[in-house]
Structure formats: structure tokens, C-alpha cells
Amino acid sequence: MTAVGEQGRKSMMPIGLINALDIQKLQNSFASVAKLFLFCVDADGQRITEMSGPAGEVDRILKLLNEKHLTSVISRVIGNSIEEQVVEDTEFSNIKIASMSVRVEGEPVLSWFICAVFDDYGHTHEQRETAALNFSHITTEQNFYESLKLLRSASLKIYNDKYKALMAKTESVRSKSSEQEMSYALRRSEAMTEVVQMLDSDAGFEKISNDIMTLAGSFVDLSHAYVIRMNPGQTAADVLGMWENTGAVSLLDGVRSMTYEDFIVLSEKTTIISSKSKISEQYRTNMDQHHINALITMPIFINGNIVMYTLFAEGRKPRNWELDEVKFLGDVTKILQSILTRRIQKNSLASSYASLEAILDNVGSGIYVRDMETKEVLFANRIFRNTFEKEIKDGTIDDMLDGGKRARANATYLELHHPTRDRWYDLHYTYIHWVDGRKVSLCAIFDITDKKLYQQKIEQQANNDFLTGLYNRMCCERDLVHYIDEAKQSDQQGALLYLDLDDFKHINDGLGHQYGDVLLKAISHSLQRIDGIENTCYRMGGDEFVIIIPASSYSRFSDIIEEIRIVFNKPWFLKGADYYCTTSMGIVTFPDEGETVQDLIKKADIAMYEAKKSGKNRTAYYAENADSLSNQRLDMEKNMRDATADDYKEFEVYYQPIIDIRKEGTPCTGAEALIRWNSSELGFVNPADFIPLAEYLGLINPIGNYVLREACKACKKWNETGHPYFKVNVNLSVVQLLQNDIVETISSTIKQTGINPRNLTLEVTESLAINDMARMKEILSNIKKLGVRIALDDFGTGYSSLNHIREIPLDVIKVDQSFVTDLAEDQYSQSFIKMVGELATAIGVKICVEGIETHEQFKVLENMNVRLVQGFYFDRPMKREQFEERYAR
């Protein structure tokens, strides 16, 4: 079963792992020790090495052998040939030649050509006459055949070692699937250490057998574990050691009464039967009669003869054995065999040592034994020698092992890091009496690199943001404590920058979350490239970042701020186009403005909000009066949430008339709906204060929908009471417009209120319209299909080109009031409005000028191609009742 498992594990084994140097070393060894002439060819028959042997005699062998004969022998085992080994006579009675193919899973890896000259010239006159004489490189025929077997085994051994080394290297960079596996490996090592300690026990064999079965059964969680002895002709088995799990039905009587015929699983090899194994009905019936669902039996040999067996069974539930369990139980059985061998060969120190070495060479850990008084190295098993070959040769192995550090204060093992290999080991020390009676320290060494990598992965997940790779909030708070202390001790200054991306939600909702993630990663990488803050950038969550400027980098403070501005002044390439995403940044210095983490982050956040409130894409420094403003903001936030939850009763829609100055008497043609908040707690709140907060809190969407609904109701009433052509303008926020259901929301509002869609004008800002032209065209076109009119608000404040204006399905262009302030005197403002009027006429839309406050401004517009105006000169925004009293009676 073990062999099958190994073969299955190698099913993906790469061919060609052994290099020419390994082959040459093996060839030279066999040529020297076995006295053979040989060379190696690859799977295609191409020579890898030249023939080994004494130089003069090699040339002579090649001359004596027929080239065709040699080629024929090799060709019989290479490629897809079914023959794996060929031995043939030659015309010389004392020379034989052979070819042998070394295969893995049926595929040839390499082949050997071997030639042997025997020291026996034959018994007949004819044989002696045809013998090749005067060779010093000679061997016996028995040694020849044994060497063929050994050469095949050695070739496969090298190949398997190379494969295992490759697998070990591959596995070393993988973390284990879970912490449970790490715990299992540690418990396995501790259990195996306890079993190994039994080697030095003076207790009776039955006591040792019971203890070892208890350790093995408990660790693997078996129902039963026995050491049994069966002799041919006996009617019952001898149970020498046993362990039965708590609650498991005892099988002791059944095991003792079993005959050889019952023990169908006892053989010279390990037998493994799982619950799913396919076995004959008779065998399964025998197992069922003894309440066994799965079992493993392993023979114990003494001097080549089976003297007893270990039997591990599971009778409580179905079980399918794992490879690690089988290996562990195999190691336990080998150690039990070693103990028995020591007892039998107690008076033969050399024999005991050889048995011990053979066992410890096959356990799954490195073993190192050292005399406690003289520090003499008494034993190192194969795994240890292979792992620390260089340190053993250099004589530094003891220093390396003594450099291990205790993993925890109460730990029973040491932890060792090998910097050259970048590997980690657990060192378990115990003190035993060696085979010759002296007191020694036995060190069991286990490779725990995978466990360490897993721990590092967990730590990285705990400290790093998964998406961007930046450090997270927890790491930020921890590092900030260090940098504050550093600045205080050095009497220097540092800074904390709090960044919040402006309108990130628009890109995230508009382009999709995957492009939002791309943007966050791009911003993170750009920030990390700024000199002085490469390792002090943190993602606090969502679209918020913190940057710490340590005291060591504070001399570059101004440069760092400028480089951050440059990062956000450039467009980001997303989804095949350029998009702008700016940031609002709050700055606080330490330790002068704060000495605690919470205080500094709070103050930087306050400053950041002030920057966002002042128009976004701004930088604000913390000011002492900001705390009171922060408290006001918190009060405003609480009251705003309460007001929206209370059916928007505190919010009122005001209406500012829109005047047609081309008609006689400059009549009102409708109004723009504007939101106002009359808080029961805070009083009348300025829109410039609460609208940015509503956007920041994500409440602008329900508030905006409320305004749309109330404005449509009002306009419907005006149209039905003598003003059929009155229109109402409603501002659509960025958040509203980017909602996936915005068209359905507008359509539903039109149907619910009954307004004529031609009397509803929806205003969108210029910057919004050009940020994603293709998406805006699609959304606005779908809205237009409802019969609604579209107005481009704040025209002249963005970056739109005339071509973009032509692409948008517009009905009205509204000139921003910033162009009206100096309209009476400023030639540029007059020229701009005149140009926009001509543009509007050319593309078939109307123009509306906002912010008219004086008679002089109004008179200037009379000579321009302007029809619609609004501003304080005509009237201020007012409640609905006032508007209807003045304009819609």
C-alpha cells in the first residue's frame, strides 16, 4: 500500500531530474568498488558518460567488443521496449555484457551498459582458450549480478532523492492549508519523541508495548492497537501489548481466539484495509464478525524472520487511512522492532547500534546524539546528515544548534532559524542512556518552515490591507505610537495626513467595483513611490487613507504634500479612458497638536472634512477651533439622520422663479426647486453646510428623491390651476444620477404625481456630464425618452469642450452665476455670455443666466441672445405658498 501511495504521489514526476554529475559520481563508484566497466545513456540512447574503468583496459574492452553487438544490447532496453534488463555472453568466455533500463512509472529515465571481466576462466579447455587475459579490473559472476541490482536501486534512489528535494523546495514556499495541520505536525513530533525515548527504557517488553500502543492509539485516535504473536499450529494468538480506546468495544477475546485462517491480513508486508477498500466478501465478513471497520497490520522482523505483528484497528466508525497516519504507525512499528532487537541482542553492542541506526535512519525527523560530558557526536541519522552536511563538515553544527531560541517561556522545545537556507526548525532535546550506557542528549529536529510561512501569512493578513497591500488601520495605530514617541524623544516634529477620495463612489458605481478596486490599488502604489513615506502609507477602509510623515522625513514635508497633490492632479486610466479622482486632505502635526493616536486621527479627520466642505480637492490644516466645528458637525449629522428618518418633515422645498425677459412684462415661466432644512434642534441650516454633509453621509439620494417628488406635485398643481406651461427645475445629484434605477425612479415619480414630463427639467452639473461621456449620454438619453427636459447647470466652471456640449442631449444651458458678478463692467463676462447665447442658438437649446441681482446686470442681458434668467433681482427662493401667492394664483 505504501509503495502504491508513493507511486501515485510521483505520477507528475518530471523526467530528467538527475544531472550528469550525479550519474558520473555513481558510475565512478560502481566502476571502482564493483570492478565493472560501464557507461550511461539517456532515454533516447544518447551517451551521458564515457565508459569508466582503468584507462588502458577501457580502450581494450571497447576494441574486444563488437560495436554492433554493443549497440544491439543497449537498443533492447531503451525507448518503449518491454525489456528492462538484458544480460548476454560474448565471444570471450569470461566477459559478459548487460544493459539495464531505469524506469519511473514505465517511462525510461536512463539506461546503463555494463561489462564485467570475471576472474574465473572456465573449467574446459575451450573456455580457457577463449578467455580474455591480463585484466586487473576483474570481478566474480555473483558480484556482477548483485551489482546490477544495486546499480538499479542506487539509480532510483538518486532519482527519488532528487525528486524529494524538488518537492521539498516546492512545498517549502506553500503554506499549510490550516493551523490544524500545523498543530498536527507538532503533536506528531512530540508523540514520536516520546516513542523514541522508549528505546532507552529498562521496563519489560510488555510494559513498553502497552505504552507505545497507548501513545500510537491516542495520537492517531484509534479504537484498538495490539502487539500480537502468532505461531503456526497455535489455536490462539498471544497479545503482548494492547490499547483500547475509552468507550470502544473490547476485541481482546476475539483477537486471542483468532486462528491463522482468521488473520487473512497477516503477511510479510504491511496490509492496509480502509472502509472503502475492495476486498473479498469472505474477508469483509470476518472483519465484521470482529467489529472491525478498518485495520492496518505490520510485521516485526528479527534476523529476517517475522516474530510478531502490530495491529491497528478502528471499530467505532468507518475510516479511510491517511498516508501520514500509515507513516507514523510504520515508524512506531520500526521503533518497537528496534527495541525488541536490542533486547534479543542485548549482549552485542555492535549489533544493537546497527539496528538502532537502521531504525533512526528511517524516522521522519533528524536525530542527533551527543555525549553530555565530552560533547562527542555519537550519532547523526541520514536526514540530519543530509540536511546539515555543510555545518557538520565545517564543525559549526554544535554552535548552530546551541543558538536555538526557546519558542515560548514554557515551551519544551527550541526554535532555530537557518538564515542561509531561510528555513525554520523545532529542536526537541531529551536525555537518555546510549547503547553503551553513557548519558547522552538526543536532539530530534523537525522542519517547521511551512508552519512559519503560515504564521507569517496570518500576520500579514492581520497587518495588511488585502486589496492594496498597504498597512491597515490596526498597523497604523501601532506605528503611530512609535513615531510619536520617536518625535518626542528627539524633540522633533512629524505629521499625520488623512486623505478621503472625492466622489470615489461615482467611479465605483459608474464603472463597476472592479475598476474602483483598480483605482484604489493604483493610488496606493503611487503614494508608496513618494520618497519619505514609502513604508508609512495606510488604508483605513473604503476610500480613506492615512499617511504618517515621521520625524526623520519631516524636512521633506512641503515636498511630500506637493507630490501627493501631483498624484491626484493627473488622470487615472480606467476602462479605456482617463478619469479624474481628487482627494480632500486633512493635516495635523505631532507631538505639538496631539500625543495620542485617537486624538491625532480625530483631528486629522476633522481637518479633512473641512477641506471637503470647502469644495473638495483641498488641503486643510487642523485649527484649534475645529473641535467646536467638529461637535457642530456631529450634532448636524445626528439631526440630519433623525430628520430623514422622520419622513423628511424638517426639509422644505423652496422655489425661485425663472423669468422670461423676452416677453412683455417679463413673466415667470416656472421655478427652480431648492432644498432647505429647518431643523427643530439647530434652526435654519445653511444649504452650503448641510448639503456636503448629506453627500458625505450618503443621504443625498433619498433627500434628492424627496425634492423631486414634492416639486413634481407642485408643478402638477400649477399646470392644473391656470398655468399649463409652468415648468419646474430639479437638481439631480451625482449620486442620484449614477443609481442603476434612476430612470425607473424618475418614471415612477412622473406617474405617481401625474406631471406632464415636458414641464419637468432636470439639471445636471457640467463636471458630472463630462466625467464619463459615454455613460452620461446613455443615462440622459434614457431620461429624455421619458419626455423630460435636460439642463446643463454651472456651465463655464468645468472642463467641457464644445464637442462634448454637442454630444449631450440638452434643452437648456445654465450659465453659472460666477460670470454675472461683474457683468455690468467686465468685458470678458459679457463676451462669454454672448458667446454661449450664440452657441445655444446654433445647437438649438435655450440659455438661462443665474445670479442676476442688479438692474445693471439685467440691462446688459437685454442686448444679448438670452431668454431665461433667475436671481435676487427678480425674487429670492421662497416657500411654495409664497410662490403660488405671487406667481401661480
The DSSP string of 128-197 is: HHT-----SS-B-HHHHHHHHHHHHHHHHHHHHHHHHHHHHHHHHTSPPS-HHHHHHHHHHHHHHHHHHH
Strand partners, 101: 111
The pLDDT of residue 553 is above 90: yes
358 in Cβ contact with 331 (< 8 Å): no
Sequence letter at residue 702 = P
Kindly report whether the peptide bond that precedes residue 591 is cis, defined as omega within 30 degrees of 0: yes
Q: How far apart are CA 479 and CA 327, in angstroms?
A: 46
Q: Three-state SS string across 313-373, please?
A: EECCCCCCCCHHHHHHHHHHHHHHHHHHHHHHCCCCHHHHHHHHHHHHCCCCCEEEEEECC
Helix, strand, coil % over all residues of the chain, rounded to 5? 45, 25, 30
pLDDT digits (tens, 9 = 90+) for 742-793: 899 999 999 999 999 999 999 987 655 455 667 778 888 999 999 999 998 8
CB 77 within 8 A of CB 100: yes
C-alpha cell recorded at residue 688: 452650503
Q: How confident is the model at residue 864, as a pLDDT?
A: 84
Integer Cα distance of 240 and 600 in angstroms: 72
Contact 675, 628 (CB under 8 A): no
> Per the confidence metrics, is the pTM higher than 0.75?
no
Angle, CA 91 vertex, CA 88 and CA 96 arms, to 5°:
35
C-beta separation of 786 from 749 below 8 A? no
Residue 863: its H or E element: none
How far is 199 from 196, CA to CA, in rounded Å? 6
Using DSSP's 3-state secondary structure scheme, residue 855 falls into: helix
pLDDT above 70 covers a percentage of the chain that reads: 88
φ/ψ region of 664 (left if φ > 0, alpha if ψ in -120 to 50, else beta) reads beta
Contact, 653 vs 710, CB < 8 A?
yes
pLDDT tens sequence across 453-497: 777 676 666 677 888 888 888 889 999 999 999 999 999 999 999
The answer to whether residues 651 and 706 touch, using CB atoms and an 8 Å cutoff, is yes
**pLDDT value, residue 769:** 47
What's the gap between Cα 678 and its chain centre?
A: 52
Residue 858 has pLDDT above 50, yes or no: yes
Show the cell assigned to 476: 497604523
The DSSP code for 535 is T
Mean pLDDT, residues 41-55: 87
Q: What cell does 625 get? A: 477651533
Whether 763 contacts 793, CB under 8 Å: yes
Contact between 55 and 82 under an 8 Å Cβ cutoff? The reply is: no
Residue 789 Cα distances to 756, 784, 845, angstroms: 11, 6, 11
Among 471, 454, 453, 449, residue whose Cα is nearest residue 462: 471
Strand order of the β-sheet with 439-447 is: 377-380, 366-371, 439-447, 423-433, 414-418, 405-406
533 pLDDT exceeds 50? yes
Type and span of the H or E element at 276: none
Q: What is the pLDDT of residue 436?
A: 64
Higher per-residue confidence, 239 vs 487: 487
Helix axes 179-197, 205-220, angle to 10 degrees: 180
How far apart, in whole angstroms, are the C-alpha atoms of residue 510 and residue 820?
A: 33
Q: Are 361 and 353 in contact (CB under 8 A)?
A: no
Residue 201, burial from CB neighbour count under 10 angstroms (0-12, 13-18, 19+): middle
The string of pLDDT tens digits covering residues 729-743 is: 999 887 778 778 889
Place of cell 430623514: 644
Q: With a cut of 50, say whether residue 613 has pLDDT above it.
A: yes
Q: Is the pLDDT of residue 525 over 90?
A: yes
Instruction: Report the C-alpha gap between 513 and 500 in whole angstroms.
Output: 17
Q: What is the mean pLDDT of residues 144-161?
A: 86
pLDDT exceeds cutoff 70 at 348 = no
Inter-residue contact 210 to 225 (CB < 8 Å): no
User: Which tops the pLDDT comparison, 203 or 355?
Assistant: 203
Closest among 61, 70, 71 to 132, alpha carbons compared: 61
Of 674, 608, 580, 649, residue with least CA distance to 877: 674
* Statement: residue 5 has pLDDT above 50: no
pLDDT tops 50 at residue 4: no
Burial 382-396 (b: 16+ CB within 10 A, else e): ebbeebbeebbeeee
Res. 234 pLDDT band, cuts 50 70 90? low
Phi and psi angles of residue 100, each rounded to the nearest 5 degrees, phi first: -145, 130
Of residues 752 and 254, which shows the higher confidence score?
Answer: 752
